[in-house]
Chains A and B, each alone.
Chain A
Amino acid sequence: MTSERNEEMEKVDAVLRAIGGAVPDPEMEGRILHRLAAARTSADAGTARLVPGRRVPRFVGPLAGFASAGLMCGVIVVGSVRHSHEHRAGEPPAPPVLQIQRGGVGAASAVRPADPGTAAPLPASPAARGRATHRTAQRGRARIPRQTKKAPGVTVPVPARAGSPQQ
């Protein structure tokens, strides 16, 4: 039993020796050096040369990229602000030119074709909308001068007196 076990462990040792004493291909060393040289060459090629014979550090490339990106952002912001300031305050923007199609296949144009002389609709001016665009009264209530007279036919609500039931 013990001898059998010893034999089996000898086999294990033999396998471990085979693994631990593995001999690589004789050209492996050369292949490793060749691959290292190739890797070093490709790494060197990645760095640009601004000055002949002198390499530029790696951070110069990303730095230039960030600087140009920042410059472009600034140009875009300044341009958009200047463009928005070109519109004058209070002046409505020009309406878009409406193209009325006569021979189109749209449902609306088929039912009621537009007259040739019909102009394109214009946006209403602030005064024509029926809503105050600015407050005229000082504190929210209009002041009516005493000499003002109501127009004939206009009823005036009677103010409620003290003691009378509220309606």
Chain B
Amino acid sequence: MSAFEGQLAGWMTPARVAKSVDKSQTIAQLVAEYSTTLYRVAFSVTRNAAEAEDAVQETFLRVLKHESQLEEVRDYRVWLVRIVWNIVLDRKRRAKTRPENEDIADHARALPSKDRAADAAVISNEEQGRILALVDKLPRREREALLLSAVQELTTGEIAAMLGTTESSIRSRIFRARREMAVLLEKEGIQR
């Protein structure tokens, strides 16, 4: 065996191959555990099922690209949510405006059937669209805090870690957002 071949053999030790397999399994576990949460976070911004799924796929492709850093990550949930959040915000920024294909039917099938039946009695699809339009009118920080707080799996602490602020700041942002929403609803005069 020449020196060069010896070097090549050194570069590809069996331990490294085993580690690569381990990382593949880790990523598969991350997909199984967090894909739904990431989908909900993406959906809160895109409000389109296909775009939300595409953002989730893009998130895991980035994870694959930086799989060498997986061992350094302390909180996978916060890390992944931050990635998908940046992806959807970046896409939204590029699109400049809210996509025209906002699918109200997606909202209808978004809820589990039991909750859907309960909420369908409270609100119609048309009202959903109007309320979401008002949410878009909120200041950026308040809007982001409100949308992320709606994602079931995320705690206030995780939202704070993701947005790089404190829990109390997140709570006050959500409070201000709800107060502002009430004012906007009064102005709009949304009726059942």
Residues of chain B from 28 to 69 with CB closer than 8 A to chain A in the complex: 28, 31-32, 35-36, 39-40, 43-44, 47, 49, 52-53, 56-57, 60-61, 64
Interface contacts (Cβ under 8 Å), in number, total: 133
Please state if B56 and A32 are interface contacts (CB–CB under 8 Å): yes
Which residues in A have some Cβ–Cβ distance to B below 8 Å? 5, 7-12, 14-25, 28-29, 31-33, 35-36, 39-40, 50-51, 54-57
| B residues in contact (CB < 8 Å) with A | 5, 8-9, 11-12, 24, 27-28, 31-32, 35-36, 39-40, 43-44, 47, 49, 52-53, 56-57, 60-61, 64, 106-112, 115, 119, 122-123, 127-128, 131-132, 135, 146-147, 149-152, 178, 181-182, 185-186, 190, 192
- Which of A17, A24, A32 has a CB less than 8 Å from the CB of B119? A17
Interface of B is mostly: helix
Could you say which residues of chain A place their CB within 8 Å of the CB of B35? 24, 28-29, 32
Minimum Cβ distance to chain A for residue B187 (Å): 11
- 26 contacting pairs across A/B (C-beta < 8 A): A9-B178, A9-B181, A9-B185, A11-B123, A12-B181, A14-B119, A15-B128, A16-B146, A18-B128, A19-B147, A22-B40, A22-B52, A23-B110, A23-B112, A24-B39, A24-B49, A24-B56, A28-B39, A31-B53, A35-B60, A36-B27, A36-B31, A36-B64, A50-B8, A54-B11, A54-B12
Interface pair B110/A32, CB less than 8 Å apart:
no
Q: Are A19 and B110 in contact (CB under 8 A)?
A: yes
Given A7-B192, A9-B178, A51-B5, check contact A35 B57 (CB 8 Å): yes
Docked CA distance A12–B147 (Å)? 11
In chain A, what residue has the closest Cβ to B58?
A35
20 further A-B contacts with Cβ under 8 Å, apart from A11-B127, A22-B52, A22-B106, are A8-B182, A8-B185, A11-B122, A16-B146, A18-B108, A18-B110, A18-B128, A20-B40, A20-B149, A21-B115, A23-B111, A23-B112, A28-B56, A29-B35, A40-B24, A40-B64, A54-B8, A54-B12, A56-B8, A57-B11
The list of the 10 closest CB pairs from A to B, nearest first, reads A20-B150, A16-B150, A22-B110, A24-B39, A22-B43, A14-B119, A8-B185, A20-B151, A15-B131, A19-B44
Rounded to whole Å, the gap between the CB of B43 and the closest CB of chain A is: 4
